Amino acid sequence: MLPSGEQPVELHAPYFAGKEWHYVKECLDTGWVSSAGAFVEQFEQQLADFTGMRYAVAVVNGSAALHAALLVAGVESQDEVIIPALTFVATANAVHYCGAVPHLADSCERTLGLDPGKLRRHLQSIAVLRDGACFNGLTGRRIRAAVPMHTLGHPARLDELAEVCADYRLEMVEDAAEALGSWYKGRHIGSWGCLAAFSFNGNKIMTAGGGGAIVTNSEPLARAVRHLTTTAKVPHRWRFVHDAVGYNYRLPNLNAALALAQLEQMPMMLDCKRRLARAYQRAFEQAEGVQCYSEPPQCRSNYWLNALVLEEQHQGELEAVLELAHQEGIRARPLWTPLHQLPMLRDAPRMELATSESLAKRVINIPSSAFLIGATRREAWNS
């Protein structure tokens, strides 16, 4: 049991070591707290620079970012969209917001993300290519897009997934909610598909309080995203003319101020994250029955959340390990319930999902806040 007065170690908490107070105060002092203000544009520009993308559009959260990205990628009502079964429910929700149907695919053990080989074999068995589009031969619905998700910050096998998508005429939209600061084969994630969505929720590597963004290298797509996420208002100094059903998804300046200060801290936070990951890896090197997860080959991961992976013969012990950790004040947690086991997705079209089911029984996330490693460094950064 935790001695009285001792604080539990959270799974992930924000780290404010830069100009957060200063920028937020500037919003309050000037009154620019809402949907207009200089911080939004500054943040968008710096996010584009950081990720090496041409355009970034800031929105209210990662779910809204995914929703807008899917709509702009051409997902329509009754289309199917391939997503991993092993992801946070927001990935599926965004598909549902479009009136479309999530089609669940399996992940691979090494990357924890969509398995390109399995996806190709699945499409070979069910897909029908007709008039330049892909249809599910079993349901008759068009399969419009695929959404790889970079689990816990570790990049999925993007080049192979992009090839599968090209062969089957699928748009690829990356759910990069967990992966700001992760690189795949030397390129920041987010540029293998036509669009990618980030989240800046309070539990992510950097936070805007709540926030998200869409990145793309395409000017027309960036313009379409910006239009759709700002109520589809036709620019005019005083007239209210809207040419489509749009969304009030613009990130407020107050949140953008926090986001900008956090983005400036990303190099420092990434350094902390990688040092923490190495410390965990060393600590579990000799442990039996469990491994500390490390980034896939040719990737540089942000190590958003560190993870322990139980060997298969120990999968029945997950609950006991979590119980023990919580008793000790360590807020460890499992991965998500695979989506086909949730009531609203029980009947979703899917492939065989053995790896997702197995990983869900074996992966344990452990505390990963950037400030857990090296208080001295935290102080050094402040000075």
Ligand X SMILES: Cc1ncc(COP(=O)(O)O)c(C=O)c1O
The residue ranges that bind ligand X (CB under 6 A) are: 61-63, 66, 87-88, 90-91, 149, 175, 177-178, 199, 201, 212
Minimum CB separation of residue 378 from ligand X in Å reads 25
Among residues 136 and 182, whose Cβ is nearest to ligand X?
182
177: amino acid identity, one letter: A
Minimum CB separation of residue 156 from ligand X in Å reads 11
Minimum CB separation of residue 62 from ligand X in Å reads 2
Among residues 112 and 292, whose Cβ is nearest to ligand X?
112
Per-residue burial over 150-165, b = 16 or more CB atoms within 10 Å of its CB, e = otherwise: bbbbbbbbbebbbebb
Alpha helices in the chain (DSSP H): 20-30, 38-51, 62-72, 89-97, 116-126, 158-167, 219-228, 253-264, 266-283, 318-327, 354-362, 375-382
Residue of closest CB approach to ligand X: 62
Minimum CB separation of residue 273 from ligand X in Å reads 16
Contact 342, 89 (CB under 8 A): yes
Among residues 134 and 364, whose Cβ is nearest to ligand X?
364
Minimum CB separation of residue 185 from ligand X in Å reads 21
Q: Would you give the DSSP letter of residue 339?
A: G
Among residues 90 and 146, whose Cβ is nearest to ligand X?
90
Among residues 201 and 255, whose Cβ is nearest to ligand X?
201
Q: Detail the DSSP E strand segments found in 90-204.
A: 101-105, 127-130, 133-136, 142-146, 171-175, 183-184, 187-188, 195-199
Q: Would you give the DSSP letter of residue 268?
A: H
Among residues 106 and 178, whose Cβ is nearest to ligand X?
178
Contact 278, 295 (CB under 8 A): no
Minimum CB separation of residue 60 from ligand X in Å reads 8
Q: Would you give the DSSP letter of residue 371?
A: G
Q: How far apart are CA 312 and CA 358, in angstroms?
A: 8
Q: How far apart are CA 255 and CA 39, in angstroms?
A: 9
Q: Would you give the DSSP letter of residue 71?
A: H
Minimum CB separation of residue 151 from ligand X in Å reads 8
Among residues 208 and 308, whose Cβ is nearest to ligand X?
208
Given strand 187-188, what is the order of strands in its sheet? Answer: 187-188, 183-184, 299-300
